[in-house]
Chains A and B, each alone.
Chain A
Amino acid sequence: MVSANRLAAGVVVVIAAGLFALTFGFEKMPEGITRGFGAEAFPRLVLGTIIVLACLLAVPSPVSEPAQPRIPKMVYFSSAALVAFMALVPVIGMLPAMLLFLVGLGYLWGERRHWVLLSSAILLTAAIWAVFVKGFGVQLPKGLF
């Protein structure tokens, strides 16, 4: 079984190598403009450092690593709720999406007092409308309807 540190080091190297490869696609500029230090030089220096550090991370530690706890299902559900909120905004608008999110996630996380959930959600949404839309003049996405 691969240790969590080695796995992390592997992921870091793959990401860093990918970003390093992208530097070859940066626009080339004449020497007169770059003055010997092109736009790609600094990111390459940093990525090289990251790769060296990742190699150090992969070196087995004398101290045993704690086992990685599983990610609880609630994290996946909550993540899905965040993405669902983002998908809803262009359709129904930001304020209604916020109201739905406040009620939905609160319920998902175990709040069963419906009147508390609904009243706190309405209060917060109304406060955001009053402060940002009316107070600061922020234009929130309105949705299709």
Chain B
Amino acid sequence: MEAFAGGMALLLDPYILFVVVAGTVIGIIVGALPGISGSTTTALLLPFTITMGPVPAIAFLGSIYCAANFGGSITAILVNSPGDPSASATAFDGYPMAQKGEAGRALGMSAVASAIGGIFSVIVLIIAAPLLARVAYSFGPPEYFALAVFGLSMVAMTGGDSAVKNLIAGAFGVLLATVGQDLTTGVERYTFGIHSFTDGIEFIPVLIGLFALTELLEQASQLGSRTVAARLGAVRLPTWQDMRQCAKAISLSSVIGTFIGILPALGATTAAMIAYVETRRWSKNKDQFGKGAIEGVAGPEAANNAAVGGAMVPTLALGIPGSTTTAIILAGMIVQGVRPGPHLFTEQPLLLYAVFSSMLLANLLYLVLGLGFAKVFARISLVPAPLLWPAVFVLSVIGAYAPNQAMAEVWVAIAFGFIGFFMRRFGFSPAPLVIGLVLGKMVEETLKQSLLIFDLSWGGFLGRPIAMTLFGITVLFLLGPYLINLIRRRSARALP
């Protein structure tokens, strides 16, 4: 409690307060810009946090993460083009509402539901993260190895068009983490004589390339598509009747979003989609869904913002990213010299609670900003692509160059821009690659340490019940969908 009070007190620091407000405003704006997601923005702005110090840097990135999901709903509702992928489900009913002249009502509900979902998940984060960390405190290298493998297996369910492709991308990410000097032997691996690769591939240019530059090329392939914005009247707070109608959707979706967020690698987009389906399932107005049901806006918005706090639970407590954006935030923490995990709760509680309280503040701020300035944000979101994307490239270049002042890093970013573009063309999502890259070092180190403990015998894992349970869950997650399909097909064949 003392640490939490300390964290809250940090918000009185004008610099931290400025950083949280700036992160929230930037988050809403970029969330509203079609094509620029929260993960693209955190990747793009990561280099600018290097000079900030750990607390403001993480508070800044966390605020962007919180606000971008809400920002995405602005364009989802007004132009049927979600600014952030997590707002895709919001467009199903938000845009029909806007077409009926209810854009202000939809945006008001989106802001309130987002804030409730977000605040709920931060409260869960404050309670669950220390508990999880306490459990993980007794983990040794074998348990951490099993946990990292579990985290990697979850990438099977992120983006992309097949689980196998996601796993391949994740494995390439792990391989990318092996570039540079091997910590045990000092042997250089895959450096190709390039001096800057000796210490490993830098996160920042890879992230900028995979997210910002890949998206630039993707936008180049979609030029010419025009969006028609619905008229936006005044954004207003939901009425008491709207709140009563959506109470079940918001509470159910907040729980769903937080739970899905906690699962490693699954993020806000999955949470919003599942919440939409569940909101419709439990609604009395099922037939209104897709035609402008306000519950269809409230559910996904509560869920995608609840997933943010949820995703921070494994990220902070275990060092396993809960989503693509938290993988980038994790990279940001590593760049700052902070390695998330259970020890953080004893060694740097103030940092953690500063992050918690800044996330709480960001959730309240975008509620106020969303209700007050939605019209302004909506106008910014209509910046034409020929002005926006060249500017994104220029910022990417400076972001990749500035940390080490090396053009080689810009080349790396551009190379990963092309790699990401071709990955997407073939149905591979770049997100698993990032998660693999962030987890790669942990996987290798903990495997090596485990094998040393077990005298190089893989059978040693059999004597570690927690590790074996995690391996079991991993196998279940990987094979479960295939087994269910197989059983379904068999029973369908058995039917007359």
User: Which residue numbers of A lie inside 8 Å of B, CB to CB?
Assistant: 4-5, 7-8, 12, 19, 22-23, 26-27, 29, 33-40, 42-43, 46-47, 49-50, 53-54, 56-57, 68, 71-72, 74-75, 77-79, 82-83, 85-86, 89-90, 94, 98, 101-102, 105-111, 116-117, 120-121, 124-125, 128, 132, 136, 138-141
Q: Which residue of the partner chain, among B188, B220, B452, contacts A72 with CB atoms under 8 Å?
A: B220
Residue of B nearest to A125 (CB): B394
Q: A75–B221 contact, CB under 8 A?
A: yes
B362-389 near A? 1/0 per residue, CB < 8 Å: 0000000000000000000000111101
Residues of A within 8 A of B286 (CB): none
Q: Which residues of B contact A89 (CB under 8 A)?
A: 407
B46 within 8 A of A: no
Tell me the minimal C-beta distance from B26 to chain A in angstroms. Answer: 14
Chain A residue with the shortest CB-CB distance to B174 = A46
Over the window 400-419 of chain B, the binary record of Cβ atoms lying under 8 Å from chain A Cβ atoms (1 yes, 0 no) is: 01100101001100100110
- CA A115 to CA B128, docked complex, whole Å: 54
Could you give 25 example pairs across A and B, Cβ below 8 Å? A19-B175, A19-B190, A29-B185, A34-B185, A38-B185, A39-B182, A42-B448, A43-B175, A46-B171, A46-B175, A57-B162, A57-B168, A71-B221, A74-B223, A75-B220, A82-B393, A82-B417, A86-B407, A101-B394, A105-B389, A105-B390, A117-B386, A124-B391, A124-B394, A125-B394
Q: A39-B185, A68-B425 are in contact. Are A110 and B223 (CB under 8 A)?
A: yes
- Interface bracket on B: 35 or more
B178 within 8 A of A: yes
B189 near A: Cβ within 8 Å? yes
Q: For A71, give the chain B residue with the smallest CB separation.
A: B221
Tell me whether B220 and A78 are in contact (CB under 8 A).
Answer: yes
Determine the main DSSP class of A at the interface with B. helix
Quote the shortest CB–CB distance from A145 to chain B (angstroms). Answer: 18
B427 at the interface (CB under 8 A from A): yes
Let me know if B187 is at the binding interface, CB within 8 A: yes
- Using a CB–CB distance below 8 Å, which chain B residues touch chain A? 51, 162, 164-165, 167-168, 171-172, 174-175, 178, 182, 184-190, 213, 216-217, 220-221, 223-224, 384-387, 389-391, 393-394, 397-398, 401-402, 405, 407, 410-411, 414, 417-418, 421, 425-428, 444, 447-448, 451-452, 456
Given the known inter-chain contacts A50-B172, A68-B425, A89-B407, please indicate yes or no for A36 contacting B451, CB distance below 8 A: yes
Find chain B residues with CB under 8 A from A106 CB: 386-387, 390
Residues of chain A within 8 A of B165, CB atoms compared:
8, 57
When distances are taken between beta carbons in the complex, the residues of chain A under 8 Å from B184 are 33-35, 37, 39
Tell me the smallest distance from the CB of B391 to a CB of chain A, in Å.
6
Q: Let me know if B223 and A109 touch, CB within 8 A.
A: yes
A35 to B114, CA, bound (A): 52
| Complex Cα gap A33–B448 (Å) | 13
